[in-house]
């Protein structure tokens, strides 16, 4: 299948302005990723090449990935202040370019690690060049959730609105998702697992953590109340025993004293005999 895609890519690129100018080169994406294309039929790789070429006199090349590789963000000193690369819009497009080649992508934090300055989140501050348009999903806030590009959210937002050539900035407000489908066309099972682990269930994990904390708090309070009641019960039992001991001590009379008392109460024996 990769050979077929490469042949199709060559045919499409030769017929497009991308190679006609010999200034912008980018790999192709299979048709299953067409949901990520702009209204001109350009893949995220092609759009990313256009945007990054703005700061390089319209010349930019994105090499095709080999298995096991992924695109990294700015690395050299000349790239550190390059706002054509240090922005979340290009990061999202390059992440999609990773994904459509069956590769994984880095987080936004890793991508922008060497950037000395970055565009405001969800913003492309340079002017979009002629020949391309930026789809709406590329303007999603990648700092939320897992801090990484999320293909599920991107697929749901789609390309209803675009930032056209000659404009800059952000799309506001972003289109609302047009579908609740979570199975993204073109996404492999390993990529889906990657998304689920890193960003897909972040809100669920937070909810679970909150619920777990609440339940732990309730359990602690219940244990504390049970311990308090137990101590009060032991205290009452000791108090009762002490009181009973005092009462019994006051009522108890030694046996010798009892005999003496009985002898004092009875008349002398000789008087009894005289009376008889």
Average of pLDDT values for 108-116? 96
pLDDT at 258 over 50: yes
pLDDT of residue 10: 34
Token representation of residue 50: 């256009």
pLDDT at 212: 54
| pLDDT single digits (tens) 223-250 | 777 777 877 777 776 666 666 565 555 5
Dump pLDDT digits (tens) for 113-122: 999 999 999 9
Mean pLDDT in residue range 241-263: 57
Token readout for 42 is: 């350009």
274 pLDDT more than 60: no
The encoded tokens of residue 14 equal 């030769």
E strand segments, the chain: 24-25, 60-61, 134-135, 162-163
Q: What pLDDT was estimated at residue 1?
A: 33
**pLDDT band at 20; cut points 50, 70, 90:** very low
Instruction: Report pLDDT digits (tens) over 193-226.
Output: 999 887 644 444 444 445 555 666 677 687 777 7
Identify the CA nearest to 166 among candidates 137, 124, 122. Answer: 124
- Rounded to whole angstroms, the Cα distance separating 79 from 47 reads 19
Question: Is the pLDDT assigned to residue 15 strictly greater than 80?
Answer: no
- Cβ atoms of 133 and 51 closer than 8 Å: no
Q: What is the pLDDT of residues 169-187, one digit of tens each?
A: 999 888 877 777 778 999 9
Mean pLDDT taken over the chain: 80
Check if the beta carbon of residue 73 is closer than 8 Å to that of residue 112. yes
Helix, coil or strand: residue 135: strand
Which range, of 3-12, 33-42, 116-125, averages the lowest pLDDT? 3-12
Q: What pLDDT, on the 0 to 100 scale, is given for residue 2?
A: 35
Residues 43 and 94: beta-carbon distance below 8 Å = no
C-alpha 116/C-alpha 131 separation (Å) is 29
Could you tell me the residue ranges of all domains in the chain?
2-200, 205-275
CA–CA distance, 58 with 236 (Å, rounded to integer):
88
pLDDT for 177: 77
- Which is more confidently placed, 202 or 142? 142
Q: What is the pLDDT of residue 174?
A: 83
- Residue 6 burial (CB count, 10 A): 13
pLDDT greater at residue 241 or residue 77: 77
Residue 270: its H or E element:
helix 269-275
What local confidence, expressed as pLDDT, does residue 182 receive?
79
pTM, entire model: 0.66
Q: Which contacts qualify for 142-146: CB closer than 8 Å, 24 or more apart?
A: 142/88, 142/91, 142/92, 142/108, 143/88, 143/108, 145/199, 145/202, 145/203, 146/107, 146/198, 146/199, 146/200, 146/202
Check pLDDT > 70 for residue 61: yes
Query: Cα(122)–Cα(59) distance, rounded to whole angstroms?
Result: 24
């Amino acid at each position: 299948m990769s050979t077929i895609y490469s042949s199709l890519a060559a045919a499409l690129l030769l017929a497009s302005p991308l190679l006609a100018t010999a200034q912008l080169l980018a790999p192709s994406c299979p048709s299953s990723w067409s949901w990520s294309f702009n209204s001109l039929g350009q893949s995220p790789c092609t759009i990313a090449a256009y945007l990054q070429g703005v700061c390089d006199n319209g010349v930019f090349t994105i090499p095709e990935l080999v298995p096991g590789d992924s695109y990294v963000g700015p690395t050299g000193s000349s790239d550190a202040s390059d706002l054509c690369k240090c922005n979340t819009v290009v990061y999202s497009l390059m992440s999609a370019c990773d994904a459509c080649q069956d590769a994984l992508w880095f987080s936004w934090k890793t991508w922008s690690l060497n950037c000395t300055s970055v565009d405001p989140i969800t913003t492309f501050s340079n002017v979009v060049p002629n020949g391309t348009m930026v789809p709406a999903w590329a303007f999603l806030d990648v700092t939320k959730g897992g801090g990484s590009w999320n293909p599920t959210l991107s697929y749901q937002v789609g390309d209803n609105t675009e930032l056209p050539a000659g404009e800059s900035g952000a799309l506001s407000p972003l289109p609302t998702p047009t579908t609740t489908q979570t199975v993204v066309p073109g996404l492999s099972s390993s990529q889906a697992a990657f998304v689920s682990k890193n960003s897909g269930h972040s809100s669920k994990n937070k909810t679970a953590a909150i619920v777990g904390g609440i339940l732990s708090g309730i359990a602690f309070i219940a244990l504390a109340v049970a311990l308090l009641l137990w101590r009060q019960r032991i205290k009452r039992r000791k108090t009762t025993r002490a009181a009973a001991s005092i009462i019994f001590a006051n009522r108890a009379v030694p046996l010798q004293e009892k005999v003496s008392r009985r002898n004092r109460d009875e008349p002398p024996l000789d008087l009894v005999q005289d009376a008889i």
